[in-house]
Amino acid sequence: MKKNYYKKSINYERLLITTVRRRYIDLAIGMMSFYFVIVISIKVFPFQVKLPNVNNKKIDKLAKPRTPVKTYTVAEGDDLWHIAEKFYGSGFNAYDISVANKINSLLPIEVGQKLVIPKVARRQPTVGEISAISTQVTYTEGKYIVQPGDSLSSISQKVYGDLFAWPKILQANNLPNADIIEVGMILTIPR
């Protein structure tokens, strides 16, 4: 005789409630275990968050309004050297202006362009003995010794702060071509 397994009725409602209870209990036990592991690990391996040491003087400095920034609108015929001479009395500050404005020295400045004039000290030319044996860039009284890797444009950037002022140096030294300079050559730098 065959047994009939299908005659027994299954109470699905009770089965569902039992399953849910077991799962919730497992979830609750898992969350409590995780919590205890975290708490114990923090106590065993303490970590500290280092906060910056800020005193009231620093906060006051931050709260004060900043001084207004000087700006200059480029006029026709301007270059960084002449703008620096206007504001600082020294063209050697052209470098400071180019850095403050993130100007690429390979590109000319444009008429109408607004430039920030940084608050920096006046730069003086580097003065020293001119010697053909020197390995450092030496410049004095309008003379410059050509160093390895120099070109007229790089020299004009160093002495004028303007990459495109090299024709002045070319004309002052009666050079037929900008590629004719050699290491150790003493060039006249016109002002």
% of the chain with per-residue pLDDT over 90? 4
Q: Which class is domain 139-188?
A: alpha beta
Instruction: Give first-to-last CA distance, the chain, whole Å.
Output: 122
Q: pLDDT for 47-105, tens place per residue?
A: 665 656 655 555 555 555 566 778 899 998 888 888 888 888 888 888 888 888 888 76
Domains 70-117 and 139-188 share a fold: yes
Q: Where are the domains of the chain?
A: 11-44, 70-117, 139-188
Chain segment 107-136, per-residue pLDDT in tens: 778 889 899 999 888 887 655 554 544 455
Q: What is the pLDDT of residue 183?
A: 86
Residue 115 corresponds to which tokens in the numbers above? 């430039």
Domain 70-117 has CATH 3.40.50.300: no
What mean pLDDT value characterizes the chain? 78
Residue pointed to by tokens 């500290």 = 48
| Tokens 């070109």 -> residue | 151
Please tell me whether the overall predicted TM-score, pTM, comes out greater than 0.75 for this model.
no
Residue identified by tokens 């730098």 is 189
Q: How confident is the model at residue 3 (pLDDT cuts 50, 70, 90)?
A: low
